[in-house]
Structure 1
């Protein structure tokens, strides 16, 4: 429970968290929570500092015009976290607007199982940021339109080809014999997104 409070604290914080507070939190919770911040743009990924992927994403796209003047603090949720139950384990990445004013799900095990490389992971992170930036993202009746909109954000960051290859890998993964009952619908939706991107 304390870890959840820590996540909420960082999620709403608008200023740098003093190192002394981080050290206290690290001792009390036995978790290394630190905000991953880049001074060039103000999107902050809040999560254990060891998730290098998100730090690298910030370094890579610090000068992207699309991300300038953004002030969101986005908690990165991984399996085992207090908020993990809000996401499907079968998803490598996902976005939830309701929790903590915006959370990105990151399942490293699923990323490796699907075989996503770093560029494809960047495309997926950009896609999830696209959900955050979508003015219509709260409308559940147009889920596929929301997915297509979010793909456009990856394209604007120059990740179109990586987004397409990531979607192809997801299709290959969900076509495996042990797939869930709803995977046929998921595969059709993924293919439609590829068609739009192509």
Structure 2
């Protein structure tokens, strides 16, 4: 796990964009044994399962103005990992701690339509890093899943929260659960219902 976090954090320190981070990570993994690449995929999956909860989905929806489908939340989990170990651990323990994340603070007060693509709190392509690296190391296309399954594991491909579901559209409950985020990303007023996009089209 320590090596995993070194790679994630180093990728942010030596590159300038999310795409450059992905290239850097893929290149570093492709220089390692295949077993290390499998380790990376398994550890990423373990981490994202820690934040695959309705508690974290509610926070993501609040930050994203309700625009967080199944896929969006899956990519949001990877983005949380990309923040680095300290930020991830704080948010894993308390989703309202997203209020302390500088990348989140820069989104406050702006409509999601105004966000640049690289500002969105998602990192879909992190899921593909290990796949590409594994193919480079072994020459096997789509061989990573088989290698993971050989360890008795299966990588998640969509959210599956195990905690108790609650009404994500309950404004009072949102404010209670995420007081700091609710102050940064106020729910719309004027009597309009807050519409959550919690499922894909």
Task: Give the TM-score normalised by the residue count of structure 1.
Answer: 0.30
Q: Which has the higher contact order (CA 8 A, sep 6+)?
A: 2
- When you count strand as a share of all residues, which structure comes out higher? 1
Higher helix share: 2
TM-score, length-scaled by structure 2: 0.29
